[in-house]
Amino acid sequence: MDAAAVVQDNTLTLGPNLDIAHAGEIRTALQQLLQQEGALCLDAGDVARCDAAGLQLLLAFTRHCRSQGRELRWNRASDLLCQDVAGLGLASELAINPQAQGGTQ
């Protein structure tokens, strides 16, 4: 996938780079996702690189959904993303559960 993020129906699929270089594009896609009705889904199974800016973006989005009462689910999350999120102590906040794990990295 070349794009940083693609929205289809209620699911946003992240590309391999969740980082500051792609943060603008991902933010636009997240805003597009918010326009959808019902439960929202994130697919991060292909994330192969993430940095603090990318994780902050996801954190802000998760908090926004929570504050607005929007349901947010994870379809997949790559091992790399799960490791980074766990290492930074954000697993609970981002609500990435083990069942969501799986992907190419």
Partner 1 sequence: MTSILAVDDSPSMRQMVAYTLKSAGFDVTEAEDGAIALEKAKSASFNLVLADVNMPNMDGITLVRELRALPEYRFTPLLILTTEAGQDKKLEGKQAGATGWLVKPFNPEQLVATVQRVLS
The binder of partner 1 chosen from 5, 7, 12, 19 (CB under 8 A): 19
Q: Which residue has the tokens 């989005």?
A: 61
Residue 94: which region, alpha, beta or left (left: phi > 0; alpha: psi -120 to 50)?
Answer: alpha
Please identify, using beta-carbon distances, which residue of 25 and 51 lies nearer to partner 1: 51
The binder of partner 1 chosen from 27, 49, 70, 73 (CB under 8 A): 49
Query: What length does the chain have?
Result: 105
Both structure tokens of 15: 């590309």
Q: Considering only residues 57 through 96, tell me which ones interact with partner 1, judged by CB under 8 A.
A: 83-84, 86-90
Q: Is 46 an interacting residue with respect to partner 1 (CB under 8 A)? A: no
DSSP, res 26: H
Q: Is 52 an interacting residue with respect to partner 1 (CB under 8 A)? A: yes
Cα dihedral 24→3→9→105 (10° resolution)? -100
Please identify, using beta-carbon distances, which residue of 43 and 84 lies nearer to partner 1: 84
Q: Is 51 an interacting residue with respect to partner 1 (CB under 8 A)? A: yes
Q: Is 50 an interacting residue with respect to partner 1 (CB under 8 A)? A: yes
